[in-house]
Structure 1
Amino acid sequence: MKKANILYLVPLLALSGCALSEDFSPPANGKTVKIAVVKPSNVDILPMDVIYRSEKCRDKIFTSTGAISSRAGYHLLTVPFKPETGSGTVSNNVVLDGGQCEWKLSNIKFDFQYHDMKFFGGNVKKNIPSDVVFVFDDNAPPRGDGHYNDVYGAIEIKKNYYPLIRKKNTDENMLVLSMQGQPMLTYRVHDASSIVFEPVFHSNMIVNAVPPIKKGDGYTLIYPNGDKIIDRYFPNSEKTKYEFVKQKSR
């Protein structure tokens, strides 16, 4: 059977013709999952992108052949984190379902980044955040490489991160800061009551990435202890998974 390429989609309220409201109106006593982050003092935790999907209110899809198909409806909420009194933790409760369309929680994504770029010098002009995604159903998440870590119940995740400072090829005076750890951090959640995420940021373990003089020679990665690695595939290689930086800095 030949598959047609999808060109675009248009939101469609209830393909069956029912006049349903697409508003997300969760029940007063509906089930929730608590999302909490143990926040380092020098890291900003950005609001959550919370995506719900509906089989009842589907999106109409036009294919390259002009045929009409559909997929589960899409609804996005932005949910801020709130500080918990007397702790360094920020959190909020996310509703699992609600509304006439019977929206169901599909995935949650949030970003985090270093608070003050100036800490790493005046030439750092761009701050690239890291993110984490939690998937609650079988729909594709907003990003990912197809690999998931399965997690269950009361979930606690702790990951190390390190600052990478990269010099731009096009501007020798412009440096870019990013938080590096395990890339594409994606979890498939099963029967979770709460999720606690703790990013541990080692701000003194700086990795510098220097672009090659000749195109194709590869970046030079310079570690805190002075070790240097030539990486021809930077930033898309195994060497940029910085879990081993802590050992190198000893």
Structure 2
Amino acid sequence: MKLTNVFYLLLLFSLSSCALSEDFSPPPDGKTVKVAVVKPADIDILPMDVIYRSEKCRDKIFTSAGAISSRAGYHLLTVPFKPEAGSDIVSNSVALDGGGYCEWKISNFIFSFEYQDKTIFGANVKENTSKDIVFMFDDNAPPRGDGHHERISGNIIITKDYYPIVLKKFTHDGMDALYIQGQPMLTYRVYDSKAILFNPVFHSDMLVNAFPPEKKGDGYLLIYPNGEKLIDHHFPNSEKTKYEFVKQRAH
């Protein structure tokens, strides 16, 4: 077969796969899960990234050895949260069955939150890093996560505490960066849930300032809300940045 014909067939296959991947039509009477978040006044709840997988429309991939293999097809859907009238809750429903020719099934969804105004923690704060929450519905690994997850089922309410950390002189131009701290990345494996309510409790008065080491081998200098100073050689994942520890030094 001529080389030009090979490229033509590859292009045709690629275009056909793309057409199939867009065939997404959840049945009107299909199962859904309602995702709701209690929105603090100074926090933005970012849209959900919902990932669907298809065993019917599999993606061709090359292995490290150069062989051709396949994996479940991938479809990304962005679902915004909508305010519920008369409350501080934002929510939306996500279809478990994506339908269509490929018979899409939900794999996982991720949403994030961040401070609306990062400059309330200082005029030099340039970066505003969001915090991710991951919910899994199958055994496919989500795009973000550390491999660990907590099993949940039924209609649940999740409440977690958070506080801000400002990393001083963290960017390449010497500006500061704002991070949300208090919980590691949360990943949940969902079983038979029709409603999930996430309630993030923000303690913006529990600001921790973190100064990078002056030389290699030194720890971070942490300054807590009560003015106490400690050196942390395991920042940011240490006892000194856990919520309960910081809470004790908030007053």
TM over 0.5: yes
Partner of residue 231, structure 1: 232
User: In structure 2, the residue corresponding to 1:107 is in which secondary structure?
Assistant: strand
Partner of residue 29, structure 2: 29
Cα separation, 2, equivalents of 1:70 and 1:172: 43
Unmatched 5+ residue regions in structure 1?
Answer: 1-9
Q: What amino acid maps onto 1:39 in structure 2? A: K
Cα separation, 2, equivalents of 1:244 and 1:125: 27
| Contact 1:13/1:59 (8 A) holds in 2 | no
Asked whether 1:183 is paired with 2:180, we answer: no
Q: What's the TM-score once normalised by structure 1's chain length?
A: 0.88
Cα separation, 2, equivalents of 1:144 and 1:244: 24
Q: What amino acid maps onto 1:49 in structure 2? A: D
Cα separation, 2, equivalents of 1:249 and 1:243: 10
Q: What's the TM-score once normalised by structure 2's chain length?
A: 0.88
How many residues are matched?
238
Please identify, of 152-161 and 170-179, the stretch whose mean Cα deviation from structure 2 is larger. Answer: 170-179
Query: Identity across aligned pairs (percent)?
Result: 70
Following TM superposition, by how much is the alpha carbon of 1:226 offset from its aligned partner in structure 2, in angstroms?
A: 2.2
Unmatched 5+ residue regions in structure 2?
Answer: 1-9
Distance change in 2, residues 1:89/1:102 (3 Å): same
| Contact 1:210/1:219 (8 A) holds in 2 | yes
CA RMSD of aligned residues (A): 2.4
Partner of residue 105, structure 1: 106
Task: State how 1:192-203 maps to structure 2 within 5 Å.
Answer: 192-203=193-204
Partner of residue 158, structure 2: 157
Asked whether 1:54 is paired with 2:50, we answer: no
Cα separation, 2, equivalents of 1:47 and 1:239: 32
Cα separation, 1, equivalents of 2:116 and 2:21: 40
Distance change in 2, residues 1:13/1:131 (3 Å): farther
Partner of residue 3, structure 1: none
Partner of residue 137, structure 1: 138
User: In structure 1, the residue corresponding to 2:192 is in which secondary structure?
Assistant: strand
Per-residue CA deviation, residues 224-247 of structure 1 (Å, 9 max, x unaligned), is 122222112223445434343223
Cα separation, 1, equivalents of 2:171 and 2:113: 26
User: In structure 1, the residue corresponding to 2:120 is in which secondary structure?
Assistant: helix
Asked whether 1:166 is paired with 2:171, we answer: no
Cα separation, 2, equivalents of 1:28 and 1:108: 20
| Contact 1:220/1:231 (8 A) holds in 2 | yes
